[in-house]
Every structure is written in C-alpha cells, then in structure tokens.
Amino acid sequence: MTDTFTLYGMAASLYTGKVRAYMRRNQIPFREEKAGGARFNTVVSKAVGRWIIPVIETPDGAFVQDGTDILDYFERAGFSKQSIYPPDPKLTVIAHVFELFGGEGLLRPAMHYRWNFDETNLAFLRTAFEDVLPNGLDPASREQAFLHASGRMRKAAVVFGVTPDTYQTVEDTYADFLARFEAHLADYPFLLGGAPTLGDYGLFSALYAHLARDPKPLHIMQTTAPRVFRWTERMNMAEHFEDEITLKAGPDLLNPAALPDTLKAMMRFVAEDYLGELTAHVAFTNTWLADQDDHRLKPGVLGRGIGVATFDWRGHEITTSVMPYRIYLLQRITDAFDGLDADDQASLRALFEETGLAGLLELRATKRVIRENHLEGWA
Ligand SMILES: N[C@@H](CCC(=O)N[C@@H](CS)C(=O)NCC(=O)O)C(=O)O
C-alpha cells in the first residue's frame, strides 16, 4: 500500500481548487487524475453515486466526495499542520460564513465571468474542459462533448441568477467585493489573520478556479485587486513565503474582540449580497419540507435542487435554484453559533447586528440536511 492519495478533479473546477490548495499546504502526498479518465467514469462516479468532483481516493481505497467533507476528513485524520478551524469558536462562526458565501454566494460573478465572455475565454475553456471529457476522443467528438458540458454550465449560470438583466449589477457588485477584500489584505495575509481558515478555503473556491484563472476575470483581478490575486497564490502554495504582509500581521489569527473594520466591511457585503437569497431559500425549503413524504427526503432520491425561489437582489427580481447543500453549509454556521456559551453568543450577535448579518443566525430549516453515501438528504 502507498501513502499517496488520488484527487479526481479538473484544473478549472471551483471545488477541486479548494481541495488541491489544502492538500498542497498540508503537504499531503497526492496525485491528481482528470475526472474524465477511465477510472473516474467506471469506478469513482459509481462509488459516489453521481458524476461530481472533487473526489479523493484514500490510500486504502475509500472515496470521499465534497470539498467541505474532504477538508474535514483530513482535519480529523490529523493531516492539518495548523487546523483550519480557529481555536476561538467565535472566529469559527465567522469562518463558516465565508465558507458558505465563498463556495455558493460568489457563484454569480464566477459563472458570469466564465460563460459570458466567449471572445476572451472560449479557447481557454475548450482546453480546460478536456479534463472532464473521456480519454482519446477524436476532434469532432471532443467538440461535441465540450458543447454539451459547457451548455450545461451556461444553464447553471442562469439558475444562479445571471441573466442579461443582471450582468451589470453582477459586475458592479463583484468590483465592490474585490475592493473590500483588497483593502483587508493590505494588513492581513489571510481572511482571519496569519493563517488560512475554513473561510479562506470557501472564498478560494470561486476566487481561484474561475476568477483567477479564466482570462477575462484574471485580468480584472490582477489589474484592480492585485493583493487578492497574490492571496490566491499564497493559498495555493505548499511553502510559507515571508513578505511584508505576513511580517506585519504575524502568524496569529485576529483577536475576536477587536476585529478590523475591513473584515466587518466584508461581512456587511455578505449581508447586502446574500442574506436575502438565503432567507428566501430557507422559506422555500420549509414550505417544501411540509409537503414531502419520507421517501423523497432520503439521500439521493432527488437531484441537487428542490425547486426555485424568487426574491429581490439589489433591485432585480431574480429566481435561483434552492439546493439542500446550501442549507447544509448554513447549518454549519448556526451549529457553531449554538455551541457557543452565552457570553460568546452575545458578543457575536452584537457583531452580526453591527454588520447587518443578525438575521443569518435565525435562519433554520425545519429539518436538518444530512449527507449519507456522499449524497444530501433530510433527517
Ligand atoms: N458541494 C460539492 C459541489 C461540487 C460541484 O458542484 N462540482 C462541480 C465541478 S466544480 C461538478 O462536479 N459539476 C458537475 C455537474 O454538476 O454535473 C463540493 O463541494 O464538492
């Protein structure tokens, strides 16, 4: 038996990027195999119950799917050089907010800047998508398969709320987000101070594989938010590079009693951009749950979305797909909050009130999302 893991993924995959960065930083021995390869199509996707990446195969032949679950697997198995769960549980709640927002809330700019700039991006994407196509296709079949796979992703952009009506607002709000993160990174190498946490890995999902690799958004990031670009490099390194920012911040995480305004501005952004959507999704979910028989709640019976919810997003009425997975990540925030003692809850509630996020702490689905055999369902 070797001690090498296999990561099945794709260079351009949002959630694969998060896992790869974690494995590199923690110097976990692994090889990466394109998800369109023979073993993925015959063995791995069957083992995890659907075609989805990333998946890791452990040295003893077990599979773990889901970016978040894979990081937790490595944390539990003792591979982390410095846990991505902050020692102060109040910081962990904040980290979970960015785990959810980075992985799910930034999909609008990620999908817009990937799929709505064909002139700049398409040649790059055509090559990138070879990672998910079966091996050895002739050129005509490869083009056919690319059009099929990319067509699915273009449809996905629409169900995340990216339509011609919203393009300009997606661009303006992404610029606002970049400016806020850029300001924060002038003083800190990572979101919560001197080391990456769950929150950085969440943000890294969208901010790396799409927004710091595809030609159109890469140019935007490098020219308007160079420190964010530098952070994507820092996140992706196995080595520690001591620079002005790391020297200034030191190795420790932030003091939760004195959080910088730049972090609060980022929390405020999450409130402005994403709280309305989460609120609408939880309301939809609870109405939907009340109507379901037990069979439909079992893991794997339904696809990834359970329906759509319509809500106001920055002056646009938009309709987006409601996915139990988002409720699963929301649950991680509220579970972490519920686990705090009364004093910590009070101080964190004050911070969430100050940043417009207090409503997030009240959002609960009437049933819990569970993951069984790599699939989501309801307890
Ligand atoms: N929650 C999952 C999401 C994974 C996911 O959506 N992966 C994309 C690629 S980045 C995928 O496999 N899409 C294929 C599809 O939806 O058919 C995770 O974190 O692993």
Minimal-distance CA residue to ligand 1 atom 18: 66
In DSSP terms, 6 is beta-bridged to: 31, 57
Question: What's the gap in Å between 225 CA and the centre of ligand 1?
Answer: 27
pLDDT digits (tens, 9 = 90+) for 316-334: 999 999 999 999 999 999 9
Cα dihedral sign, 39-43-49-55: negative
Q: How far is the C-alpha of 285 from the C-alpha of 306, rounded, in Å?
A: 8
- Taking the centre of ligand 1 as the mean of its atom positions, its distance from the CA of residue 9, in whole angstroms, is 10
Query: What is the best residue among 13, 15, 150 to mutate for testing ligand 1's pocket, by most ligand atoms within 8 Å of CB?
Result: 15
- Dist. CA 143 → ligand 1 center (Å): 22
Which residue has its alpha carbon closest to ligand 1 atom 2? 66
Q: What is the CA radius of gyration of the chain?
A: 20
Q: Are 209 and 12 in contact (CB under 8 A)?
A: yes
Q: Does residue 66 have its Cβ closer than 6 Å to ligand 1?
A: yes
Residue 53 Cβ contacting ligand 1 at under 6 Å: yes
pLDDT for the residue 60? 95
Position 1 pLDDT exceeds 70: no
**CA 168, CA 159: separation in Å to the nearest integer?**
17
The pLDDT of residue 278 is 98
DSSP string, 89-101: HHHHHHHHHHHHI
Q: Report pLDDT digits (tens) over 86-99.
A: 999 999 999 999 99
Q: Is the CB of 156 under 6 A from ligand 1?
A: no
**CA 65 to ligand 1 centroid distance, Å:** 9
Cα 343 from Cα 317, distance rounded (Å): 39
CA of 304 to the centre of ligand 1 (A): 10
| Structure confidence at residue 303 (pLDDT) | 86
Q: Verify whether ligand 1 is closer than 6 Å to residue 149 (CB atom).
A: no
Per-residue pLDDT band at 301 (split at 50, 70, 90) = confident
Q: What is the DSSP letter of 375?
A: E
Q: Is residue 196 scored above 70 in pLDDT?
A: yes
Distance (Å) of CA 366 to CA 302, 362, 375: 18, 12, 19
Please tell me if the CB atom of residue 45 comes closer than 6 angstroms to any atom of ligand 1.
Answer: no
User: Does the beta carbon of 6 sit less than 6 angstroms from any atom of ligand 1?
Assistant: no
Q: Give the model confidence (pLDDT) of 103-119 as tens digits.
A: 999 999 999 999 999 99
Q: Specify whether the CB–CB gap between 17 and 209 falls below 8 A.
A: yes
pLDDT at 102: 98
Say how many Å lie between the CA of residue 214 and the centre of ligand 1. Answer: 18
DSSP, collapsed to helix, strand or coil, labels residue 29 as coil
Count CB atoms within 10 A of the CB of residue 199. Answer: 26
Q: Which single residue is written with the structure tokens 């995959």?
A: 13
Counting ligand 1 atoms within 8 A of each CB, the residue from 16, 41, 53 with the most, and so the one to mutate, is 53
User: What are the structural domain ranges in the chain?
Assistant: 5-76, 89-109+167-378
Binding site membership of 13 for ligand 1 (Cβ less than 6 Å): yes
Strand-pair partners of 5: 30
Phi, psi of 30 (to 5 degrees): -155, 155
Q: How far is the CA of 276 from the centre of ligand 1 (A)?
A: 24
Beta bridge partners of 322: 307
Q: What is the pLDDT of residues 236-252, one digit of tens each?
A: 999 989 999 999 999 99
CA of 13 to the centre of ligand 1 (A): 8
Residues facing 354 on adjacent strands: none
- By the 8 A CB rule, do 116 and 170 touch? no
Average pLDDT in the 194-218 region? 98
Residue ID of nearest Cα to ligand 1 atom 14: 52
The atom number, within ligand 1, closest to the CA of 18 reads 19
Q: Respond yes or no on whether the N-terminal peptide bond of residue 87 is cis (omega within 30° of 0).
A: no
Please tell me whether residue 75 adopts helix, strand or coil conformation. helix
**Protein fold of 5-76:** Glutaredoxin (3.40.30)
**Cα–Cα dist 235/197, whole Å:** 10
* Alpha carbon distance 27, 25 (integer Å): 5
